[in-house]
Structure 1
Amino acid sequence: MASREFLKILSSARLGDVLAQQKLAEAYLTGAFKTPIQPSNALIWLEKSFLATQTHNSVGSSSEITEPPHIFSLMAKLPLAETFSSPSFQFGWESFWKIAQSENDPSNVLSAKWQLANLLVNPRNQELQSQLMHWFTKMRSSFRDPFFHQDFHALQTLAKQYLKELAEGDSVYAAQAKELLIQLQPKNEVLSSLWSTWLEQGNEEALLQAAELGLTKAKLTLGLRLAQLDGSSDTKSNASLKKAAYWLELAAKDGDRDAWFALGEIYRRPQFSGYNAQESDRCFDKAADLGHPDAQYRKGANLWRKREKIEEKVRGLQASYWIWQAQQQGVAEAKTLLSKILASHPDPQKNDWYDLARFAEQALNHHAEHKLSEDWLLLCHRIIVANQFHFSKAELLLSEVGQLQHEHCVVVDIRWELPKILPRLIQIETIQQRRALLAAGKVFASAGQDVEGNLRQRRYRFDQVTNWLTDTFARSATPQKDPEPA
């Protein structure tokens, strides 16, 4: 049911209030006032607002507005492709091209360019593009702006130019634009033939042509050969490194992780005139983000060396993450370095809480029978987790169970109660460890606040629970006792 505020705005909009019409359009775009998101309705009200504004201008008002900026700001947020069936689509179509070619708000311009490029050249929108071309051909004569008298394919060419501009920039659309450009890379018979000629005959002219035509793997291969990073030679002149950097940068812009890694190595070469250690680190970081194993190890090792200078809540956590990623991909050195950062306790039978943890699991499995209170239930989970990761007694009682797990390790930090005890990082290595953390995390997430109390109360409860677990499950001859509330 529509809210009173929405109905009030709707009433004013119907009476011709320009501001109300814009608010109504914004509500249909954002879902404000519990309004269903309907881009087509938003476009209709934006057109009404625009026409009302133009009428207001034409009568010679003292506040002349030639281009209503707020309308265009809302328009840039509109998903144009979803409004094709709207009666106001022509207004939206014209407005998007106008925004894309304006020099007003850069964010609106970028949004319009991305939407037009995605609509007109994305292979996923082929069916819509076909319908749009038919519509445009039919409507072309009705457009007043001479810009729209050109062929539809010319507009697609301009949209692709917008796409290249976005890919070369640093806006929020850059990554999406690069990904779409990769999809649009030519895959015709000429490219395939050139690449095959290079692979079969080693024809470097064919390799160069393939790179110039935009084939990413050709750019990478050419760059590696020019830098002699493919093992072809030991001679590395500055001239060849400059050419190599040029081709590798083109491949890197296409999102190739090997190209980013090679660039990192080139920027570290003393004979390269563009030597730049910071740029080298940036390239290695890019390669690591894209999943290059050696780059991940390098990034982790670098973070570990600089751990004293890096501000992080738990020292070594960032470094361990990247080194662990490299280890997962088979980098031999990563395992050795990771063992210096993360403790390893994969065998719960060798840990101090093994027997008690077995009893705690039995108690949880028969929870309904023993009628465990919430605080006892939480402590049983603490004992199981502590056994899996070989916690000390203080860590068992005080660790924030819901915050222990990270992707690759647990972070045991009890400085909130015992400031002198340093945090520990322990690797997650087994399915049992992950299951214990998952089960405990669910229980602690649903537990009430302050159920466990302070450290003194936790110690007292720990003695109660451990005595009951031992008496109940270790001595089968002794009659079982029901737990007493703490």
Structure 2
Amino acid sequence: MASREFLKILSSARMGDVSAQQKLAQAYITGAFKTPIQPANALIWLEKSYLSIQNQAAETGNASHVEISNILNQIANVPLAQTFNSPGFQFGWGSFWQLAQSNLDSGATLAAKWQLADLLINPRHQDTQPQLMAWLKRGNSTFADEKLANLDFGGLQKIARQYLQELADGNSMFSNKAKELLIKLQPKNEALSSLWNAWLTTQNEEALIQAAELGLTVAKLTLGLRLAQLSGNVENKSNASLKKAAHWLELAAKDGDRDAWYALGEIYRRPQFSGYNATESDRCFDRAADLGHPQAQLRKGANLWRKREKSEEKVRGLQASYSIWQAHQQGIVEAKELLSKILESCPDPKRNEWHELALYAESAINHQAEHKFDEDWLLLCHRIIIANQFNFSKAELLLCEVGQLQHEHCVVVDIRWELPKILPRLIQIETIQQRRALLTAGKAFAGSEIDLEGNLRQRRYRFDRATNWLKNTFSKNQVDAEVE
């Protein structure tokens, strides 16, 4: 269960507090406040913090180089390889190269060089490197340095090897690791490459076994899958074959291979396997999901959704929807249907009952200096805009905790603190306009006093007065604008 301190930081981070976002990222990196270590989430919050600082710099014209440096130094502590295929990887990838090419901080620069060398040329990432190469070919990478932008995967590997040699020749905490990797890249690696190529070109099973025994992760995975015949009729496999398969898959899983974890989850579910264990199977599937395996994410989410009645989470279905949403982001078609059962969808604000009033509220915000209305009316205008974007009821419009609405993939509308019988709703965030409305409102509410809006009776009274004023003041202007 999350600590109070963590929840306090999380709340501030969601409201746009840059310092809180960085503290939250650090907690996901180090496990502080009893937080599960999740490098991918750390990158997401560091990116939010980075973009907030950049936006503030664009508005004020003063770039805070110190704050940018602090974020980049913090990024250097994120295990980059573990975040591949995560939403924040593109930001992390560009930041690591920016660090490696700079002299912002010697420790952070060395850490960035080591991580890039490790990801690009270390044999233990041979299963990830082809995927990374394909990712680069699709044009996903962005570099501030034009020279880097013109390099292909081989060119980047060449630079990474230079970094590795620099680290090995130096005297830092990465020197020994660099020397060990250089040894791995010597003849033994050539032998592994030769064996793996022999398997790929001639399907030489003896070469596959030798490559697996020498420690090639992709060979261990391939051998395990062949022994289990997960792509064929596994029901006819003997227990002996499944035990051997589990052995090789466990070795590949220890190397961090998500496909191996997923395959292990399936093997532990086979009734003919002597090690049948449903609990262990779920653990393997969850581990694969944490590493970004799309089918495992769907399975984990579906499992959480089935068990939602027994769940102790504050808002049922939130964890399940996040896992299913991640699978949907990776192209799993089945996830869309299940996600629609958990999350409501309202991507078109023109169909919602607050649309006309929201247009007036936007006009009021844009002409705030001219009309000089109070801050409580400004907050109400933001509430109307959000209510229109997500089709809130009037009670939800008046009572929702704006700073607590946004999660990574949806908004959680929970007004049980005032109306206990109204169940929470989960609504998917689907458009840029929805995210922009939440961000703008979050900034407005972050700087306001907690009790400024008053109780429900006061909010209803203010709503009636404000909406009448909005209609009387802006309806004619809106009609004229539409005619033009």
Aligned residue identity for 1:410: V
Give CA deviations for 1:411-438 in whole Å, capped at 9, x if unaligned.
Answer: 0000000111110000101111000000
Among all aligned residue pairs of Structure 1 and Structure 2, give the percentage whose two residues are the same amino acid: 76
Aligned to 1:307: 308
Aligned to 2:359: 358
> Would you say the 8 A contact 1:375–1:452 is kept in 2?
yes
Pairs within 5 Å for 1:47-196: 126-127=165-166, 129-131=168-170, 188-196=189-197
Q: CA deviation at 1:223?
A: 0.3
Task: Please tell me whether residue 206 in structure 1 is matched to residue 207 in structure 2.
Answer: yes
> Would you say the 8 A contact 1:378–1:443 is kept in 2?
yes
Aligned to 2:382: 381
CA distance in 2, matches of 1:335, 1:322: 12
Residues 186 and 331 from structure 1, CA distance in 2 versus in 1: closer, same or farther, beyond 3 angstroms?
Answer: farther
**Aligned with 2:411: secondary structure?**
strand
**Aligned with 1:411: secondary structure?**
strand
- Which of structures 1 and 2 has the larger relative contact order (alpha carbons within 8 angstroms, sep 6+)? 2
CA distance in 2, matches of 1:423, 1:260: 35
Aligned to 1:449: 450
CA distance in 1, matches of 2:186, 2:266: 27
CA distance in 2, matches of 1:238, 1:184: 37
Aligned residue identity for 1:261: Y
Aligned to 2:132: none
> Would you say the 8 A contact 2:360–2:478 is kept in 1?
no
> Would you say the 8 A contact 1:245–1:263 is kept in 2?
yes
Pairs within 5 Å for 1:411-426: 411-426=412-427
TM-score (ref. length: structure 2): 0.62
Aligned to 1:253: 254
CA distance in 1, matches of 2:329, 2:273: 33
Runs of 4+ with >6 A deviation:
122-125, 183-187
CA distance in 2, matches of 1:477, 1:272: 70
**Aligned with 1:308: secondary structure?**
helix
Aligned to 1:286: 287
Task: Please tell me whether residue 225 in structure 1 is matched to residue 236 in structure 2.
Answer: no
> Would you say the 8 A contact 1:186–1:215 is kept in 2?
no
Task: Please tell me whether residue 235 in structure 1 is matched to residue 274 in structure 2.
Answer: no
Instruction: Give the number of aligned pairs.
Output: 317
**Aligned with 1:475: secondary structure?**
helix
Pairs within 5 Å for 1:324-473: 324-473=325-474
Q: CA deviation at 1:276?
A: 0.4
> Would you say the 8 A contact 1:238–1:272 is kept in 2?
yes
Residues 124 and 272 from structure 1, CA distance in 2 versus in 1: closer, same or farther, beyond 3 angstroms?
Answer: farther
**Aligned with 2:310: secondary structure?**
coil
Q: CA deviation at 1:130?
A: 3.4
> Would you say the 8 A contact 1:224–1:244 is kept in 2?
yes
Give CA deviations for 1:20-79 in whole Å, capped at 9, x if unaligned.
Answer: xxxxxxxxxxxxxxxxxxxxxxxxxxxxxxxxxxxxxxxxxxxxxxxxxxxxxxxxxxxx
Aligned residue identity for 2:462: R
Aligned residue identity for 1:130: D
Q: CA deviation at 1:231?
A: 3.1
CA distance in 2, matches of 1:276, 1:233: 17
CA distance in 2, matches of 1:477, 1:408: 33
CA distance in 2, matches of 1:222, 1:186: 23
Aligned to 1:276: 277
Aligned to 2:97: none
CA distance in 2, matches of 1:297, 1:456: 44
**Aligned with 2:426: secondary structure?**
strand
> Would you say the 8 A contact 2:235–2:272 is kept in 1?
no
CA distance in 2, matches of 1:421, 1:389: 17
Give CA deviations for 1:125-171 in whole Å, capped at 9, x if unaligned.
Answer: 754543559xxxxxxxxxxxxxxxxxxx9xx69x97xxxxxxxxxxx
Q: CA deviation at 1:123?
A: 9.7
Aligned to 1:25: none
Aligned residue identity for 1:384: I
Q: CA deviation at 1:233?
A: 6.9
TM-score (ref. length: structure 1): 0.62
Residues 187 and 440 from structure 1, CA distance in 2 versus in 1: closer, same or farther, beyond 3 angstroms?
Answer: farther
CA distance in 2, matches of 1:261, 1:415: 39
Q: CA deviation at 1:448?
A: 1.6
CA distance in 1, matches of 2:315, 2:334: 23
**Aligned with 1:344: secondary structure?**
coil
CA distance in 2, matches of 1:394, 1:206: 68
- C-alpha RMSD of the superposition: 2.7
CA distance in 1, matches of 2:162, 2:227: 34
Residues 184 and 336 from structure 1, CA distance in 2 versus in 1: closer, same or farther, beyond 3 angstroms?
Answer: farther
Q: CA deviation at 1:460?
A: 0.5
Q: CA deviation at 1:367?
A: 1.3
Residues 476 and 193 from structure 1, CA distance in 2 versus in 1: closer, same or farther, beyond 3 angstroms?
Answer: closer
> Would you say the 8 A contact 1:361–1:380 is kept in 2?
yes
Q: CA deviation at 1:475?
A: 2.8
Unaligned 5+ runs, structure 2? 1-105, 108-160, 480-484
CA distance in 2, matches of 1:472, 1:313: 42
